Amino acid sequence: MTEYIQVGPEDRAEPRSHVIKLHGPEGFEGMRRAGRLAAEILDALVPQVVPGVTTGEIDSIVQRMTLEAGGVPATLGYRGYTKSCCTSINHVVCHGIPGDKVLKGGDIVNIDVTPILDGWHGDTSRMFLVGDVPLKAKKLVDVTFECLMLGLEQARPGNRLGDVAHTIQSHAEKHRYGVVRDFCGHGLGRLFHDSPEVIHAGRPGTGPELKPGMFFTVEPMINIGRADVKLLEDGWTAVTRDRSLSAQFEHSIGITETGCEIFTKSPKGLDKPPY
């Protein structure tokens, strides 16, 4: 059913749902550099994400750092999106649009960046805690990070995407949290969003088998309440229907012979708060 094709570094073929690209050493090298830049941008934001700053100011920093490094923000002009990152606060699940909104103490915010460097996409997001955050919110953030990392432990040849999904779902539901179904991780490389679709809830032993050379993101969105989301009128911002808090972490990875390489790990060890 699933087909795999070995691709060279120049391959930009549009996604086909049953075809998964397997990348070579140049791809790994390109993704390492793009992923590192993405992680460095999030590292640099740590001292900036404080009460009183606007999400638009954060966006400007992301744009400036990306361009200074010789990259381009993948989201700029992507399907009509006009910003360099997404800033998703509290009950916003994903794709919050930066603007005049001021961060206040007690907020939790996801910042999602995707620089394109030499044609390769490094896609990563982390949660940031603004000032003093209630324990309940901090626990959601901790468990969401655990969901991502436990899922990545399952990302190795021979396992299937359903194994990654099931591990994430089990951990979230153990804490009575809801796993968002409306948005998924995705293949990436020369393209921002490629095959396969990477679900975050599913059954073990199902879905495409993981093979060395696959590049994709894992980016679980976990809600304190129910899993249901709705889209706001701007056509981008997704929020929890019950207005419960939502958290997300995202890494871009490549499947190796023995497991996975995380392209977007923080060089400074700032992968999860407190930073």
Look-up of token digits 């432990």: 153
Q: How far is CA 114 from CA 3, 170, 187, 271, in A?
A: 27, 28, 13, 16
Alpha carbon 57 to chain centroid distance?
Answer: 21
Q: Are 196 and 102 in contact (CB under 8 A)?
A: no
Q: Which residues bind ligand MF3 (CB under 6 A)?
A: 75, 78, 81, 86, 95, 112, 114, 123, 217, 219, 236, 250
Binds Co ion by CB under 5 A, chosen from 87, 217, 237, 266:
217
8 A C-beta contact, residue 94 and residue 238: yes
CB of 132 to Co ion, least distance (A): 27
With respect to Co ion, which residue has the nearer C-beta, 7 or 148?
Answer: 148
Residue 186, annotated as binding a ligand: yes
- In the complex with ligand MF3, the residue whose CB is nearer, 30 or 220, is 220
197 assigned ligand-binding residue? no
Q: Which does 26 bind (CB under 5 to 8 A by kind): ligand MF3, Co ion, none?
A: none
Q: Distance (Å, rounded) from C-alpha 53 to C-alpha 130?
A: 10
Site string for Co ion, 87-116 (x = CB under 5 A): -------------------------x----
Decide whether 106 or 119 has the Cβ nearer to Co ion: 119
Nearest Cα neighbor of 213 from 157, 263, 158 is: 157
d(C-alpha 150, C-alpha 146), whole Å: 6
Q: Which is nearer to ligand MF3, 81 or 275 (CB)?
A: 81
Phi, psi of 46 (to 5 degrees): -50, -50
Q: Is 194 in the site for Co ion (CB under 5 A)?
A: no
Task: Give the SS3 label for residue 53.
Answer: coil
Interface residues with Co ion (CB under 5 A) are 112, 123, 217, 250
Binding residues for a divalent metal cation: 112, 123, 186, 219, 250
Binding residues: 95, 112, 123, 186, 193, 219, 250
